[in-house]
Every structure is written in structure tokens, then in C-alpha cells.
Structure 1
Amino acid sequence: MSGLGSALAAAPEAAPSPPVSNQRRRTYWIFILPAVLTVGAVILFPWLFTLWMSVNEWKIGESRHFVGLANYLRLAGDARFMDALWHTLVYTALSVAAPVGLGLAAALVFNERLPMRGLLRGIFVMPMMATPVAIALVWTMMFNPQLGVLNYLLSLIGIGPWEWVYHPASVIPSLVLVETWQWTPLVMLIVLGGLATVPAEPYESADIDGASGWQKFRYITLPMIAPFLLLAAMIRTVDALKSFDIIYAITQGGPGTASETINLYLYSVAFAYYDVGYGSAIAVVFFVLIVVLSLVMLHLRQRSKWNEIGEGR
């Protein structure tokens, strides 16, 4: 032991690692700077410029005047903006609820061992691959009160013709029908991924206990795929809020302003009336609305079973 102690005492102490030189630290910025400049130019600068424009009265071709919060105060008394806000919320709520519900049902069906299940899944997801303008043109022809195939199908079961997107009371549900047709497959794919992670043991125990199919879905399947349903709802919420192309191509916000959402009203103010100051204020409020709804959805997701399982609770 004494020989070992002498050897250890005689061994030289490990030299501390030399500090990183200032020159080496400076070289880091060579690699970071392009990304910082890109983010600033593409994301940060446009939003700062939008905020700056929103506090100015500025119409294209006229002089600019600083007005502070006047544009935001003007929104509260703008009946057309309030109608557009209501249309946006209704359209978003329906465009989330319908695809999530139908996507869940489709996922449960396609999760079974059906003949040619792969082919049927491929056919079912085809609407996702179509371009929005092409979808809008096809559905516009289908919605035609005289020549559309939808009214022809209704006549086969004794239902009179509907006006679809040509009547203020039915225009938003009709647009939601298009949105549901296109994006239900996305929800189905997300839920199918969740169903693939559900273990078989709980179902085997439920079968031994004599549980019904509804009880197995209610107490096993639904809690385990709830995080995936919330994820699908988050994606659909953000996508429905910013929906523009389908609505504009089919109705342009009509009839009148019955289907005008915030996106379409913003487009009209900024690019039809050339009031970029007021339009910028609408854009800022719309951005805040999206952020608030996204935070609510994230909060719900954090409280889901997915996080509880991950934290070992």
C-alpha cells in the first residue's frame, strides 16, 4: 500500500483543460449568423413592420400619419369585423368537430382487419392530396342549385333542392362540408397512429371481465388515444383559423358577407381598399387570437394521459 501511495503521490496532477480562446468563440458566430439573419428577415422583421404599420393611418398612395391605438379602437366599433370574427369562430369550431369525429370513426373502422384494407386507406386519403383551387372548382359545380350533383342525390330520396353556398344560412355549413371532406383523412391517419400504440393486454382483460364493445372503447381505447385526438384538434384548429383559399375560391366571402372570415376581411381591407394601416391592426389581432387558441390547446394536451404516462404517474 505504501508503494502505491508513493506512486500516486509522485504522479503529476492532471493539468486543467485550457479555456476556450476568444478567437474560437468568435468563430461560432460565423455559423450562427446566417440562421439568425434568416429568421430575422423572414419572421421577425415582417411582424415588427406589421406592428409599426398598425399604429399608423396609412393608405397606399396617401401620406402616413401616426395614430397610436386608434386602429385597434376602431375594430371594436367595426360591425363587419365583428361579423367576420363570429364567422371565423363558427367555421373553426365546425371544421374541427366534424373532421375529428368522423376521423375517429374512420380510424376505428380501418383499424380492423378488412379485406383490401391498404387499398381502401389509400383511396380514403386521396382528398388530402388535391390542391385547394381544384377542390373549390369541383365543389362549386356540385353546389350548383340547378345542375349540381348534390341536389340530384337529394332528389332521389325525396328532398327538395338546397341553395348550399348561395344562401346566408347554409353557406358556412356547406364550406365546412368541403373542409371535412378534405381533412378527415388527416385525422384518421393521426388516430390510426395512436391505435397502433394501444397494447392488447387491456382488451384481453376486458374480454375476461365480460366488457361490451362500447365499454372497451369508453374506458380503454378513448383514454389511450386522447393525446392523439388533441393533437389532431390542434392541427385542425390552426389550419381552420387561417383558411382562405377554399372560402375565397368558392364564395369570395358571399353571399354578401355571410361567409367572410377574418382572413377574407383582412384581404379586402389591405388589398381592395388599400388601407394597410387598418389591415395591419386586423392582422395583429388575428395573430393574437391564433396564439391564444393554440395555448389553450397546448394546455389541454399537457393535461392529457400521454403526459401522465410519460411522467410515470
Structure 2
Amino acid sequence: MTRRVPAWLAAPAVAGLALLLVYPTICLVALAVTKSSLAKPLNRFTGLANFTGAFASPAFTPSLWKSTIFAVIVAVVTTLLGLGIALLLRHRGGGFGVVGALFLLPLVTAPVLVGVAWKLLLAPVGGGLATVFKAIGLAGFNPLGSDVGAFVVLVVIHVWQWTPFATLIAFAALGVVRPELLESALIDGATAWRSFTTVTWPAIAPSIWAVAVLELVIGFKVFDLLVVITAGGPGFSTSLSPFVIYQTGLRGSFDMGTAAAQTLVFGLVVGAVATVVTTLRARALKADA
């Protein structure tokens, strides 16, 4: 006999959801349709004027594309690197070990400290890498001084910081692969790649796809590195959406209404991209089943 759980038991969860999700969302929408500043929020109703102002910003619309490109690149690279490193760590046998623990250091370091350390390393004069650049004939080389260079630097630093997370999850997922199945595949003459695609990958695919989705979201919300390393420059080349929204609402005119509208638009973009990725994930897992 099936017993029904009393509905009141869900009250704490519903209250927490309303407090942490519903109420902030209502406030955000209210700010987006009103003339609002830090001093005078919800001053007067403006309809869609804030959304028009959001897209009129010379930095916001390009930032949506840049954020999407950045998030997709770092999600793919960190996931693949994390999987590759996890396979190497598993191949050497045993647990995560000292090497694995040291590898996690970038992940547990505060993003602001990561940004400061890399900015000091990349300084063209007196930086930690200045001698290396000089030795290869690039004296005074400043990758942060060009549009493409600054964007690539942010990608490299983000990948360096978040690959350990992908490695940790992938390493744990590899623990569910049954060794006897791998041994049987080797006995049958399967190559290492064949063993991976037929035995290992079907077992770890759900976890790896989950890592990819998480890395995508983390890539969209990068902010600390921008503030510390590039401040959105040079020009608007590294002005990703979170940084542009921050500048709109908390710098200069403190236009919270337009910043709220930009946040809603950015949220829709993130949701759309995440939906595409999760759809691909569902199809891939269905094909592997």
C-alpha cells in the first residue's frame, strides 16, 4: 500500500525556493520595467525603455556574443583536458595522490588572487614571464595589450583554474568502470581507443556531460578575472556580459533599471545555450544507451 507524504513537509523547501529564487526574480523584473537607481529604486514605470537602452549600449550586444564564445570554448577545453588528465591519473593506479592534490590548488585559490598572480606574471616589464619572452625574442611582449591576446589570456587562465574541477569529477566517474570489462576487451584484442569508446565512455558519459554543462555555466559567469586583469579592455574586447552589467548598474550612472534589463536578457541567452547543450547531451546519452 502506497502512503502519501503530507504536503506540509514540503513547506521548508517551498519557502526556501520562494526566498532565494522567486522573490529576487520578481524584484529583478520590477527594476527592469521602472526608472531605478541605487538611490531611488522603482521610481516610475517605464515599460520596455530599459530594454531599449540595454541594446543601445555599444558594449552590451557584442558582450553577449563574446560571453557565449568564451563559455563554449572554456567548457569544451576544460572538459576534454580534465578527462584526459583523469585518465592519466587512473592509468598510474591508486588514488588521486599527492600529484592530484597539488593539481587542485588552482581550483581552491581565490579568483582574485589568481588574477593578481597572472597579471604579475604577464607584466611586460619585471613580470615573471618577461625573461622567458625575452629569451625567445619577444622582449616587452604584452599579450594583454591586444584584443585577441587579452581574450586568449582570459581563456588560458580560466582553463588553468577550472580544469582541476573537471579532472576531479572525471576521476571519480572513472571509478565506476568495471576492470573486468576492460580486461575482457584487451583479451579480445581491442585497442586502447576501442576499449575507451565501448567500455569506459558509456559508463562515464553522464558525468562528463554534466561537467560540460557546469563548466559552460561557470564560463558564462566569469567576472573576477575581468576586473583584476583586463577591466574589460583593451577597448571592449574582453567586456563580457557580467562585467558590462556591473558597469551599468554599479559604476557611472548607477542605472539599476537598465542593468536589470541586461541581466534578464543575459539570463535568456545563458538559458538558450544551456538548453542546446542539454539537448545534445540527452541525444548523445540516448545514442550510447
- TM bucket, shorter chain: 0.7 to 0.9
What is the aligned length? 283
Q: Report the AA paired with residue 216 of structure 1.
A: S
Asked if 1:48 is matched to 2:26, the reply is: yes
- Distance (Å, rounded) in 1 between the aligned partners of 2:131 and 2:47: 55
Q: Which residue of 2 is the match for residue 220 of structure 1?
A: 199
Q: Which residue of 1 is the match for residue 257 of structure 2?
A: 277
Asked if 1:301 is matched to 2:281, the reply is: yes
Match for residue 196 of structure 1 among 160, 165, 175: 175
Bigger Rg, structure 1 or 2: 1
In the superposition, relative to structure 1, how do residues 35 and 203 fare at CA in structure 2: closer, same or farther (>3 Å)?
closer
Instruction: Give unmatched runs, 5+ long, in structure 2.
Output: 1-5
- Distance (Å, rounded) in 2 between the aligned partners of 1:221 and 1:34: 40
Match for residue 184 of structure 2 among 202, 205, 213: 205
Q: Which residue of 1 is the match for residue 272 of structure 2?
A: 292
- Distance (Å, rounded) in 2 between the aligned partners of 1:181 and 1:193: 20
Matched-pair contact (CA < 8 Å) for 1:98–1:180? yes
Q: Report the AA paired with residue 274 of structure 1.
A: F
- Distance (Å, rounded) in 2 between the aligned partners of 1:207 and 1:33: 54
After TM superposition, the structure 1 = structure 2 runs for residues 112-151 of structure 1, keeping only pairs within 5 Å, are: 112-113=91-92, 118-151=97-130
Q: Which moved more, 1:155-164 or 1:285-294?
A: 155-164
Matched-pair contact (CA < 8 Å) for 1:165–1:251? yes
Match for residue 234 of structure 2 among 234, 252, 255: 255
Q: Report the AA paired with residue 162 of structure 1.
A: F
- Distance (Å, rounded) in 1 between the aligned partners of 2:85 and 2:133: 24
In the superposition, relative to structure 1, how do residues 161 and 214 fare at CA in structure 2: closer, same or farther (>3 Å)?
farther
- Distance (Å, rounded) in 2 between the aligned partners of 1:212 and 1:35: 50
**Scaled by the length of structure 1, what TM-score is found?**
0.80
- Distance (Å, rounded) in 2 between the aligned partners of 1:50 and 1:236: 25
Deviation at 1:91, TM superposition (A): 1.5
Instruction: Give unmatched runs, 5+ long, in structure 1.
Output: 1-24
- Distance (Å, rounded) in 1 between the aligned partners of 2:170 and 2:134: 35
After TM superposition, the structure 1 = structure 2 runs for residues 1-313 of structure 1, keeping only pairs within 5 Å, are: 36-60=14-38, 64-113=43-92, 118-158=97-137, 162-272=141-251, 273-305=253-285
In the superposition, relative to structure 1, how do residues 108 and 159 fare at CA in structure 2: closer, same or farther (>3 Å)?
farther
Q: Report the AA paired with residue 27 of structure 2.
A: F
Q: Report the AA paired with residue 254 of structure 2.
A: Y
- Distance (Å, rounded) in 2 between the aligned partners of 1:222 and 1:274: 49
Deviation at 1:151, TM superposition (A): 3.7
- Distance (Å, rounded) in 1 between the aligned partners of 2:19 and 2:205: 38
CA RMSD of aligned residues (A): 2.7
Matched-pair contact (CA < 8 Å) for 2:64–2:269? no
Deviation at 1:34, TM superposition (A): 5.6
Deviation at 1:282, TM superposition (A): 0.5
**Scaled by the length of structure 2, what TM-score is found?**
0.86
Deviations along 1:115-137, one digit per CA (max 9) or x if unpaired, are: 99611111111111111111111
Deviation at 1:159, TM superposition (A): 5.2
Identity of aligned residues (%): 28
